[in-house]
Amino acid sequence: MSTLAIAKRDFLDVRRAKLVWAPVALYTAFMLLFFWGQSTSSEPDFYAVMWSLLGLGGALVVPLIALVAAYLSIAGERESGRIKFTLGAPVDRSSVIFGKLLARGGVVLVGLVVSFVIGTVAAQILVPDMSFEYGDYAIFIAVTLLYALAYVSVAVAISAATATRSRAMAGGIGFFFLFNIVWNFLPVSPTQMLEFLLNELGRDPANYENLLELVFSISPTGAYLNSTKLFMSDRFLETVGTANAAGDPFYIQGWFMLVILAAWVVVPLALGYWRFGNAELG
Amino acid sequence: MTVHTIWYIKTYPGLVSQSDRMAAIRTDELTKQYGSGDGAILALDGLDLTVEDGEVFGFLGPNGAGKSTTINILLDFIEPTAGHAEVLGHDVRTESKAIRARTGVLPEGAEVFDRLTAREHIQWMADTKDVSADTDGLLETVGIADAADRKAGGFSKGMQQRLALGMALVGDPDLLLLDEPSSGLDPTGMREMRELIREQAESGTTVFFSSHILSEVEAVCDRVAILNAGELMIEDTIENLRDENGGTTSIELDVTSVPNDLDLQSVEGVREMAVSDGTIQAICSTPAAKVDVVRCVDDRTTVTDIIAEDTSLEELFQRYTGHNPKTESHEETATEAPEVTV
């Protein structure tokens, strides 16, 4: 009951913040750009659009949408003292965290769904010749929403664990840098460090490909990027060289990426609650 | 042993009535220390406080005395270092939600939610308490009915404070916990706040409010506690405070000429006397002595004016806290408590 009361109030509040919608507009703009890009091609390929959206959204825009929407959710109230209104009411601290997750998650999901609807309509106008794969598109949207929710959960958790705007912001940027850019894109990533280590030990990294793949997928961005087997055609994956071999172990299969993303929803929340539940709100 | 105890309670209810009687708030050796070692700050030092059901209780002290710390513990925002507190019969640590369901809270320096309307604020509080609120009636009560559908971000400090009070009143709580309720209010707002507190008290609500402004407490409270540097200096009714603490009253007489060798100290009940140009001042320990002073002086010279006043509580407040409330600033000030003998 109190979780819903918090969620309702917070949704009313945050949806009126214009800043929250700016990254959503950015995502929509890129989507339109990608569809337009296919319209100039002689053989428009729907999977190329999803591939671009996956890369750009995964690396940058979806985390941005979620972090902007949620990093201040609790820390902002603590800094301003409004948390004393919230907790002066008969509300548990866990309800604050879940309510905030529902509200901020809701705002992000609504934003993304609107964005996808606009993209779908635009595609009919821009590239009427392209064959639109609705089934795969729906799976892609669902996985993207789960990825966004994982980032919202991380942002709410960081916000719950910090008492000021500046620390929450530092935490959000730090997470993004470590578990996204460093983990999946920089040459100092854990996979590369592991490869280096294996080489030093005189082992051939090629024998440990599955393990390396799992390490890559442990970050939410890695899991999102490796979920392609769920919605991309094999034909397209072969052309970009990431087709899955038969007999992959379960922990690098598409469905396991969803498990990893779900863990990124649950674990941060638990840690955030552990910190916020014992916090001194003086 | 257990059997005996039960027998006692059943046979002599009077024996347990003292602890059984409903207290709205009870704290027992409540202590809060921030940090540890040399840098530790003792914000609250063994506070024993009892607020009876239905009374208006003023919690008084300079800024930094530990008032907000106490309220924060009562609402489970912070954990006491030692001691124990109960509100409405519930333990503050284990049954906080039950407490807050029956309590209206006005937090200190309340900032409301900028992007929500006044109506949405009230509605939200009603949602959390699972009651249906008469939103318009409540906003009318606190004097911002015409701003019901405006976003609170545009409200003045005073309007925000009124809205916060409106939220505290949602669901007709049994206890109102008001932290510095008049901050940000203009004199009219402060008067209305006092009237509202009185009305609430008349309807049976217990009101506990903190303040560093003495006149506000004096005007509405049944009892007060004065806190300084984390320690309870006194807990009593306003009348008793006046009577017991010096209980002095002063009288000032304007005279045409000051008679020579006037010795008012020989009049019973006069403690001190001061003479200046055309004015005689006497500090008396009993009100009756004032009459004798007037008679005595009037026999010797012509009295043109009489000014009599009770020792204001402000003097008392100053004595307990080492602060002059008239010049009290909003800075954190925690000084050593002066030696006090009651």
A1 touches chain B (CB under 8 A): yes
- Outline where B34-107 has alpha helix (H): 67-74, 96-101
One-letter amino acid for residue A198 of the chain: L
Residues of chain B with pLDDT under 70: 1-21, 244-248, 309-315, 323-342
B60 min Cα distance to partner chain A (Å): 19
Cβ neighbours for A21, distance < 8 A, ≥ 6 positions apart: A111
Burial of A39 (0-12, 13-18, 19+ CB in 10 A): middle
Structure-model confidence comparison of residues B273 and A147, the more confident one: A147
Backbone angles phi, psi at B155, to 5 degrees: -80, 150
**Is the complex ipTM more than 0.85?**
yes
Predicted pLDDT of residue B17: 40
Cα torsion at A159, A162, A163, A169 (round to 10°)? -70
Tokens for A29?
Answer: 């703009």
Instruction: Provide the strand spans (E) within chain B.
Output: 23-34, 41-52, 56-60, 82-87, 90-91, 103-106, 175-179, 206-211, 223-228, 231-237, 249-255, 270-276, 279-284, 303-310
What's the rounded mean pLDDT across residues A70-83?
A: 95
Q: Which residues pair with B276 in a beta bridge?
A: B279
**A1·B130 Cβ contact <8 A:** yes
| Mutation target vs A (from B94, B124, B132, B332; most A CBs, 10 A cutoff) | B124
Inter-residue contact B210 to B298 (CB < 8 Å): no
Instruction: Provide the strand spans (E) within B65-168.
Output: 82-87, 90-91, 103-106
**A280·B77 Cβ contact <8 A:** yes
Residue B53: HSE in the Cβ half-sphere, 13 Å Cα cutoff: 9
Predicted pLDDT of residue B324: 55
Nearest to B75 by CA among B93, B58, B48, B53: B93
**A84·B110 Cβ contact <8 A:** yes
Predicted pLDDT of residue B323: 59
Tokens for B192?
Answer: 């209305």
The whole-angstrom separation of Cα A9 and Cα A12 is 5
The whole-angstrom separation of Cα B69 and Cα B59 is 12
B289 min Cα distance to partner chain A (Å): 50
**A84·B115 Cβ contact <8 A:** no
Helix, strand and coil content of chain B, in percent to the nearest 5, comes to: 40, 30, 35
A162 min Cα distance to partner chain B (Å): 15
The whole-angstrom separation of Cα B10 and Cα A278 is 41
**A89·B100 Cβ contact <8 A:** yes
Among B77, B128, B177, the residue with its CB nearest the CB of A89 is B128
Inter-residue contact B74 to B53 (CB < 8 Å): no
Backbone angles phi, psi at B133, to 5 degrees: -100, 145
Inter-residue contact B283 to B273 (CB < 8 Å): yes
Burial of B138 (0-12, 13-18, 19+ CB in 10 A): buried
B109 min Cα distance to partner chain A (Å): 8
Predicted pLDDT of residue B333: 37
One-letter amino acid for residue B111 of the chain: E
CA-nearest residue of chain A to B117?
A13
Nearest to B121 by CA among A97, A163, A88: A88
Specify the length of chain B in residues: 342
Tokens 């940027």 -> residue: A173
Among A6, A14, A90, the residue with its CB nearest the CB of B129 is A90
| Mutation target vs A (from B71, B127, B210; most A CBs, 10 A cutoff) | B127
Tokens 């901020």 -> residue: A104
The whole-angstrom separation of Cα B211 and Cα A9 is 30
Predicted pLDDT of residue A261: 97
**A90·B78 Cβ contact <8 A:** no
Percent of chain A at pLDDT exceeding 70: 98
Is A230 a residue whose pLDDT tops 80? yes
Q: Which residues of B152-171 are buried (b: 16+ CB within 10 A; e: fewer)?
A: beebeebbbbbbbbbbbbbb
Specify the length of chain A in residues: 282
Residues of B with Cβ-Cβ distance to A98 under 8 angstroms: none
Among A4, A12, A281, the residue with its CB nearest the CB of B77 is A281
Predicted pLDDT of residue B21: 54
A101 min Cα distance to partner chain B (Å): 17
| Mutation target vs B (from A72, A84, A280; most B CBs, 10 A cutoff) | A84
CA-nearest residue of chain B to A9?
B124
Tokens for A247?
Answer: 């007999």
Inter-residue contact B102 to A89 (CB < 8 Å): no
What's the rounded mean pLDDT across residues A185-200?
A: 93
Q: What is the DSSP string of chain A?
A: -HHHHHHHHHHHHHTT-HHHHHHHHHHHHHHHHHHHHHHTSSS--HHHHHHHHHHHIIIIIHHHHHHHHHTTTTHHHHHHTTHHHHHHSS--HHHHHHHHHHHHHHHHHHHHHHHHHHHHHHHHHH-TTSPP-HHHHHHHHHHHHHHHHHHHHHHHHHHHH-SSHHHHHHHHHHHHIIIIIIHHTSTTSHHHHHHHHHHHTT--GGGGHHHHHHHHHTSHHHHHHGGGGGTS-HHHHHHHT-PPPTT--GGGSHHHHHHHHHHHHHHHHHHHHHHHHT----
Tokens 């949620």 -> residue: A70
Is A245 a residue whose pLDDT tops 80? no
**A16·B97 Cβ contact <8 A:** no
Tokens for B37?
Answer: 């070692």
Residues B151-183 have pLDDT tens digits of 999 999 999 999 999 999 999 999 999 999 888
pTM above 0.90, yes or no: no
**B78·A282 Cβ contact <8 A:** yes
A5 min Cα distance to partner chain B (Å): 6
Predicted pLDDT of residue B3: 43
Tokens for B245?
Answer: 């603490």
CA-nearest residue of chain B to A13?
B115
CA-nearest residue of chain B to A276?
B77
Least confident residue range of A51-65, A117-131, B287-301, B317-331: B317-331
A281 touches chain B (CB under 8 A): yes
The whole-angstrom separation of Cα A256 and Cα A210 is 13
